Structure 1
Amino acid sequence: MLDLKPISTLAVYLLLPFLVFETFYTTPLNLSFFYITITSVLIMIILIVLGIVAGRFLKFDKKDENAFLLSTIFPNSGNYGIPIILFAFGKQSLAYGMPLMIIHAILMGIVGVYIAANGRGGVKMSVETVLRQPSNYVIIPAILLQQFHIHLPANLFASIQLVGNATIPVVMIILGMQLANVTIRKMKWGRISWATLIRLILSPAIAYGVCLLFPMSDLLRNVIVVMSAMPSAANTTLYAIQFDARPQFVSSCTLITTIFSILSLTVLLNIL
């Protein structure tokens, strides 16, 4: 069986930083960024508390709880969410969708890595792991370059795009290879069902409730709610493999939530 750890290391420490830099460098930030940031953080905190409570109820050990949190907190707002909101709400929704994707990327790169690494050691080790992630160090330079309209040389930016564009295909390959090691009979269907319920049903409901606390437009509210209803992020499998956080369970949740999101998103979009 092929060892996925070297491939996930390549993706986390080489490919992902280029994609993160490209995303932050090319995506303008707007006045709605404050509402997007505060609602995203509040939704994440509520989902963390909900995941911990569910973990206590289901009697998870530390690694199981971390894997459950990875599967329920972070939505696939990039290569899945952006096309969905573009289809549902038109080009004007990208003004909200792109900054929202950026916030999700920041939270996943910090909180997601912390959760994934927490099963291998204490708080100190988890914090050190977060600080060792190169993708977290390209965010501020990329935003500053974009805000001050400093253009990189064309050849340099083309090279960054070339490496960054390889990230999603590699992550998809890693996810597929991880799923190849999972058999249907060995899937923990009870736990996966709980994760699916939280990710696809409770998460958008929580997002809707949080959005009601702020004076935002209907379009912004709808984008936040729909993005919160996305299936589990594919990058969570990457982190689960890298930090040994029950990768089979996390990849299974990513697969199952993606399949069932076809139905849940159809219903949600018709409601909105």
Structure 2
Amino acid sequence: MFALNPATLTGPLLMLLSFVGLGWLAARRLAVDPRPIATLLIYLVAPLTFFRALMQGGPTADYLLLTLALFVLSSLISLVVHRLAQHFFDAPESALLAFSSGTGNTGYFGLPVALIVLPAEGVTLYLFCLLGITLYEFTVGFYISARGQFSVRQSLIKILRLPLIYAFLAALLLSSAGLRPPDAVMQSLDVFPATYTLLGMMIIGMTLSRVTLAAWDTRLILACVGIRYLVWPLATLVAVLALQRWLEISPPLAMAFLLLGVVPMAANVVVVAMELGIQPQKGALAVLVSTLLAPFLIPLYFGIMLTLTSLG
């Protein structure tokens, strides 16, 4: 029913790598500091991007259940990894590993692929799943990352200052009341998704421009990439097989789940690491490695997963 040609990934991958390259040039030649851009993404661009997506998608109870399910899954994986990582890594590295384990590049990388391989219904389902992972990033994930550097009270205060939470609540309140911002306002928000993607990937390049050989941490990078390309594919495959057995999950939703499990590491790993000061250079290297592996691993994984789920 579904198929993913390896050539499908060429366009999104080249686009993302070109943005990384632009970021590297901006930092090396123009001396652009990535930290203010990370702050801009977290406190302005991301909240407006997802507010727009929620208002356009028209959240329903079923869609929000998907958001909740992915939020819970991401949080559980992150909490388990954090507990285990504390025995093998220092606090900053374990926080970085835990944060990265609960998320993936579901937006910058996964969404362009979803638009190609999924029907319209599947794209909508994918977006609400993506929202659950993003909410994890800026709540549980942000808290775990902050705890690597700050006290419980300081970490909770940082979460309460994140506007994405309030953007999510505002969108739900407006939708439940049957209200919608004027068309002129919604049109003005159209620039934010592309801005979110561009700046998010450029930050990786900006951070890499400052990387030295001392930042290479084989053990941490292997752990990050291994969780992304082993734990997540297995978790989403088991979820789809279980749902097929007990709830007769629709093929578009099954495909959306599988896609969430095979995308590379999230660029937001670098954004959050930079904002909180937890090894952004190591995070950037891990994200780059996982992104370069994507065109080789994703077609292989999809071939196996589609066969096992009888979707291929």
- Give the structure-2-normalised TM-score: 0.78
1:150 aligned to 179, 202, 208, which one?
179
Alpha-carbon offset, residue 42 of structure 1: 4.3
5+ residue gaps, structure 2: 1-30, 307-312
Per-residue displacement from partner, 1:81-103 (whole Å, max 9, x unpaired)? 12223333333311311111111
**Kindly tell me: are residues 268 and 32 of structure 1, through their superposed partners in 2, closer, same or farther at Cα, counting changes over 3 Å?**
farther
Cross-structure match for 1:125: 154
Alignment deviations for residues 111-168 of structure 1 (CA, whole Å, 9 cap, x no partner) = 2221221122122211111000112111121233345442322332233333554232
State whether residues 63 and 128 of structure 2, in contact with CA within 8 Å, keep that contact through their aligned partners in structure 1. Answer: yes
Instruction: Report the AA paired with residue 74 of structure 2.
Output: M
| 1:98 corresponds to which of 115, 127, 139 | 127
Trace 1:110-259 onto structure 2 (pairs within 5 A): 110-163=139-192, 165-183=194-212, 186-214=215-243, 215=247, 216-259=249-292
The CA distance in 2 between the partners of 1:245 and 1:186, in whole Å, is: 12
Q: CA deviation at 1:38?
A: 4.9
Letter matched to residue 55 of structure 2 = Y
Q: How many residues align?
A: 271
Cross-structure match for 1:80: 109
- Contact map agreement 1:110 1:130 (CA 8 A) in 2: yes
Of 197-206 and 30-39, the range deviating more from structure 2: 30-39
Q: Identify the match of residue 23 of structure 1 among 38, 45, 53.
A: 53
Q: Is contact 1:200–1:229 with CA below 8 Å preserved after alignment?
A: yes
> How far did 1:2 drift?
4.7
1:44-83 matched pairs, under 5 angstroms: 44-52=74-82, 54-56=84-86, 59-83=88-112
Q: Residue type matched to 1:162 in 2?
A: V
Q: Contact conserved, 1:21 with 1:139, CA < 8 A, in 2? A: yes
Deviation at 1:236, TM superposition (A): 2.0
* Amino acid in structure 2 at the alignment position of 1:43: L
Runs of 5+ consecutive residues of structure 1 not aligned to the other structure: none
Aligned-partner Cα distance in 2 for 1:36–1:257: 26
Secondary structure, counterpart of 1:120 in structure 2: coil
C-alpha distance in structure 2 between counterparts of 1:39 and 1:63, whole Å: 28
Give distance in 1, aligned partners of 2:265 and 2:290.
Answer: 6
After TM superposition, the score normalised by the length of structure 1 is 0.89
Asked if 1 retains the 8 angstrom alpha-carbon contact of 2:270 and 2:284, the reply is yes
* Displacement after TM superposition at 1:49 (Å): 4.3
Determine the C-alpha separation between the residues in 1 that align with 2:64 and 2:71. 11
1:6 is the counterpart of 2:6: no
CA separation in 1, counterparts of 2:33 and 2:111?
32
The answer to whether the 8 A contact 2:96-2:145 is kept is yes
Q: Does 1:270 align with 2:303?
A: yes
Q: Distance in 2 between matches of 1:84 and 1:54?
A: 33
- Is the contact made by 2:99 and 2:141 (CA closer than 8 Å) also made in structure 1? yes
Looking at structure 1, the residues matched to 65 and 176 of structure 2 have their Cα atoms a distance apart, in angstroms, of 19
CA displacement 1:156-214 (0-9 Å, x = unmatched): 22333335542322222222101111245641122211211110122110122234444
In 2, Cα distance between equivalents of 1:18 and 1:42:
23
Query: Is contact 2:79-2:98 (8 Å) kept?
Result: no
